[in-house]
Amino acid sequence: MTKPILEVLKLNKSFQVKSDKALFKKPKPVHILNDISFELLEGETLSIVGESGCGKTTLGRCIVRGVNASSGSVVYHAEDEKAVDYLKLDRKGIKAYRKDIQMIFQDPYSSLSPRMNVFDIIAEPLIANFKLSKDEVEAKVTEIAEKTGLNVGYLKRYPHAFSGGQRQRIAIARALITQPRLIVCDEAVSALDVSIQAQIINLLKDLQEQYKITYIFISHDLSIVQNISDRVAVMHLGRIVELASTESLFGHPQHPYTEALMSAVPQPNPEFKKERIILEGEVPNPANPPSGCHFHPRCAYKTEKCIQEVPELREVGYNHFAACHYAEKLQLRGVPIESAELQVN
Amino acid sequence: MRTLPLFKGQKPAAPVTAAPKDTVYSSQWRLIYQKFKKHTLARISMYILGLLYLVALFAQFIAPYDLQSYDSKYVNAPPMGLRFVDAEGKFHIKPFVYGLKTERDPETLRKMFVADTETRHSFKFFVKGQEYKFLGLIPMKTHLFAVEEPGRIFLLGTDGMGRDLFSRIVLGSQISLSIPLVGVGISFILGLIIGGISGYFGGWLDSLIQRVIEIIRSFPTLPLWMALSAAIPPRIPVVTMYLYIVIIFAFIGWTDLARVVRGKFISLKNEDYVVAARIAGVGNTKIIVKHLLPGFMSYLVVATTLAIPSMILGETAMSFLGLGVRSPATSWGVLLQEAQKIENVALYPWKLLPLGAVILTVLTYNFIGDGLRDAADPYKK
């Protein structure tokens, strides 16, 4: 019954890094995203988790074309069933679809222009994408501000007058005003304190039910991810190493890296004895990645094969993908689902 | 415990009853203006500069003589003071100047002027004199002041051709004070557009523009001026020459501003709120006008103000060397040409007076620039 809304196919992003020493040496590309592929179903929430610097944010920005990907495609299935490659659209072509795909940024302090008042900030995407009269704009902004729990009387103020949680509501209102079908939430709640996090998460969930929005939820906070997502993709050094439904991934991780992440989830149940897996070594440098499986220098289960061969992302269980040579053989520990449930209300 | 004598016997301070000012969200420019007002030096400079520009605007009216008038009888005459008290110690309600007579120095046999206490010429306001066009439009004869005919008034002395220096400084300010403004205006626009393109679009275009700027900046200024002014045809109307010189200055001046603008564009275009606007579907032009420019306009205004003094000095230097404004047009640099000869400076030091005008203007601009910079800096208290 659910159709795909977005297909990401072999998405690559590399940055040219100039070396200071060699003047005439060609700049070396650093691969931040390596052959990222996944499918996003309409109305679902896909979380992308991973440690800092693994490319989560870059992936999000590539999808919404905040930065341009090096290669690959993002096929967007529009409402009228037309499939377009979002990355290949030119400036005119993309205009029709910008309104469908919006983004909420990590930092509500830097993502709102300090020189525009809140009304103008929220109205900006609306004015850019639709031809509306002043009254219509005002009606829409007021409506969305009420939905997101902003005081309508304060709309003429500037962002600096608001707290972090209010600012993130402004950012959400701004993302919602064009009635997008897909929102990329880049660490949308990471900058907020826990009580506000819960409010915002509930707000996002409510809005999802109301408007059938699809979320790509980028986060490093596994408790929130477990609470909000239908499926989870784990990223490590620019690759997806595991992709599965939330229960399956948290319950039965199939990749050693996921297991290590899971062991870091706080357990509210004191009875539950867990062993914290501390990863040894540093995060590999993307400019000079290790051979074979990128995770092998830090993996407890590595063999000679891991050093030589790059594992493919393959289906290891029903709708459970993992990029590990020994996914089926390893018995990895997950998180008991109930105990890690985030107490939202 | 020791009590501070200051507080002994004093009543406790009355509680603050006045309601705090209504929280009003002032615009950035308003905040800058309020801070600028508190900067005393800048404020005073502002008044002085305003006065200078008023003088330049009404120069033909204020100057008692025009640029062409000269009197071979009064070559290198010293400044003469307005007097209320005459040689006998009698007070006159109407100010006057003495006439000048020539005498020879008994030692050097040099011709010199002394006040002729026999002849008194009284000072008058609003006198009919040489005809001119008020503000370049209305033909008028009235000058602000003069002395009775046949007397002459040389407040700041005369030059080697017997021309009144005061009139020439006043009239010269029209060119000296406006060239930098127009020049900076043009380089502001050039710098904004070229620097903006360079910073916003980046890539090979950025590299190309930056290399061109480097080449222009690595030219030694003096030979460049000479080359450019050699390209100006010798006999052209004053207005055309004026334009040429402004263009020469703008040609060099825009590079600095372009760099500033480029840097600001690069730092601002990757700000989250700019990326957010792009994702929201806002077009390039709108992003530049609504998000980027307001972000550094105040900074740019300051940079521009601080660029004016160097342009004034440049014009003065160029005219001083005979490369800039040429007579019959006059600027402060042209007036200073006479000070190139050492005997002129030694014997007739008042010929350095145009320098005073230059210094005053440059200082006031610098102080205003400083004041603006402090006012535009949100972190400065």
At B271-291, the pLDDT tens digits run 888 888 888 888 888 888 888
Q: What one-letter code names the amino acid at A194?
A: V
Provide the ipTM.
0.81
Residues A215 and A263 in one domain: no
> Is A125 close to B282, i.e. CB distance below 8 A?
yes
Q: Could you tell me which chain A residue has the CA closest to the CA of B29? A: A115
Q: Is residue A139 part of a domain?
A: yes
Cα B351–chain centre separation: 20
B191 within 8 A of B255, measured Cβ to Cβ: yes
Q: Is residue A174 part of a domain?
A: yes
CATH of the domain at A54: 3.40.50.300
Contacts of A112 in chain B (CB under 8 A): 273, 276
CA atoms of B112 and B36, how far apart (whole Å) = 50
Residue of B281, B283, B290 with shortest CB distance to A125: B281
Residue of A115, A129, A161 with shortest CB distance to B295: A115
Tens-digit pLDDT profile for residues A286-314: 777 888 888 888 888 888 888 888 888 88
Residues A149 and A289 in one domain: no
A78 within 8 A of A256, measured Cβ to Cβ: no
Residue B240 pLDDT: 79
CA atoms of A292 and A296, how far apart (whole Å) = 8
Q: Could you tell me which chain B residue has the CA closest to the CA of A184? A: B279
The single-letter DSSP state of residue A177 is T
Residues A259 and A222 in one domain: no
- The pLDDT-based confidence of B22 (bands split at 50, 70, 90) is very low
Residue B301 pLDDT: 81
Residue B378 pLDDT: 67
CA atoms of B284 and B292, how far apart (whole Å) = 10
- The pLDDT-based confidence of A4 (bands split at 50, 70, 90) is confident
Name the maximum alpha-carbon separation found in chain B.
Answer: 89
Taken in order A131, A137, A139, A145, the sign of the CA dihedral is: positive
Residue of A64, A112, A128 with shortest CB distance to B273: A112
Q: Is residue A203 part of a domain?
A: yes
Helix H or strand E segment including A94: helix A91-98
Tens-digit pLDDT profile for residues A36-75: 899 899 889 999 998 888 888 889 888 888 888 888 888 9
CA atoms of B117 and A123, how far apart (whole Å) = 81
CA nearest to A231, candidates A339, A319, A324: A319
> Is B277 close to A113, i.e. CB distance below 8 A?
yes
Residues A213 and A75 in one domain: yes
Cα B99–chain centre separation: 34
Number of other CB atoms surrounding residue B215 within 10 Å: 10
Q: What is the DSSP string of A228-256?
A: H-SEEEEEETTEEEEEEEHHHHHHS--SH
Q: For chain A, what percent of residues have pLDDT higher than 70? A: 92
Residues A84 and A148 in one domain: yes
Q: How far is B350 from chain A (nearest CA, A)?
A: 53
Residues A153 and A283 in one domain: no
Please give the average per-residue pLDDT across B207-236, as a whole number: 83
Q: Could you tell me which chain B residue has the CA closest to the CA of A63? A: B279
Q: What one-letter code names the amino acid at A16?
A: Q
Most confident of the following: A73-77, A340-344, B96-100, B103-107: A73-77
Computed on alpha carbons and rounded to an integer, the radius of gyration of chain B in Å comes to 28
Interacting residues of B15 by C-beta distance below 8 A, sequence separation 6+: none
- The pLDDT-based confidence of B379 (bands split at 50, 70, 90) is low
Residue B51 pLDDT: 93
Q: How far is B282 from chain A (nearest CA, A)?
A: 5
Q: Is the pLDDT of residue A104 over 80?
A: yes
Q: Is the pLDDT of residue B211 over 90?
A: yes
> Is B286 close to A116, i.e. CB distance below 8 A?
no
Contacts of A111 in chain B (CB under 8 A): 272-273, 276
A48 within 8 A of A235, measured Cβ to Cβ: yes
Give the pTM.
0.71
Q: How many structural domains is chain A composed of?
A: 2
Q: Is residue A147 part of a domain?
A: yes
CA atoms of A161 and A121, how far apart (whole Å) = 14
CA nearest to B360, candidates B316, B330, B322, B319: B316
CATH 3.90.1720.10 assigned to B48-55+168-376: no
How many residues appear in chain A?
Answer: 345
Tell me whether A96 touches chain B (CB under 8 Å).
no
Average per-residue pLDDT for chain B: 80
Q: How far is B17 from chain A (nearest CA, A)?
A: 25
CA atoms of B25 and B23, how far apart (whole Å) = 7
Q: Is the pLDDT of residue B48 over 60?
A: yes
Q: Could you tell me which chain A residue has the CA closest to the CA of B283? A: A128
Contacts of A16 in chain B (CB under 8 A): none
Residue B3 pLDDT: 44
Tens-digit pLDDT profile for residues B111-164: 778 777 777 777 778 878 778 877 777 888 888 887 777 777 888 888 877 788
Could you tell me which residues are beta bridge partners of residue A244? Answer: A232
Residue of B272, B281, B294 with shortest CB distance to A98: B281
Backbone angles phi, psi at A315, to 5 degrees: -80, 120
Q: Is the pLDDT of residue A209 over 80?
A: yes
CA atoms of A91 and A44, how far apart (whole Å) = 29
Q: For chain B, what percent of residues have pLDDT higher than 70? A: 92
Q: Is the pLDDT of residue A175 over 60?
A: yes
Q: Is residue A243 part of a domain?
A: no
Residues A130 and A181 in one domain: yes
Q: How far is B285 from chain A (nearest CA, A)?
A: 12
Residue A34 pLDDT: 86
Tens-digit pLDDT profile for residues B54-103: 998 888 888 888 777 777 777 778 888 777 877 777 888 778 887 777 77
Contacts of B286 in chain A (CB under 8 A): 128
Residue B12 pLDDT: 47
Q: Where are the domains of chain B?
A: 48-55+168-376, 80-153
Q: How many helices (H) and strands (E) does chain A have?
A: 10, 12
Residues A61 and A164 in one domain: yes
Residue keyed to tokens 């009580």: A195
- For B121, half-sphere exposure in the C-beta direction (CA atoms, 13 angstrom radius) is 20
Residue A24 pLDDT: 65
Note down the domain range covering A105: 4-15+31-229
Residues A259 and A213 in one domain: no
Tell me whether B290 touches chain A (CB under 8 Å).
yes
The torsion defined by the Cα of B159, B162, B164 and B170, in degrees rounded to 10, comes to -60
Tell me whether A330 touches chain B (CB under 8 Å).
no
- Antiparallel, parallel or unpaired: β A314-317 and A320-322: antiparallel
Q: Is residue A317 part of a domain?
A: yes
Residue of B272, B277, B282 with shortest CB distance to A110: B272
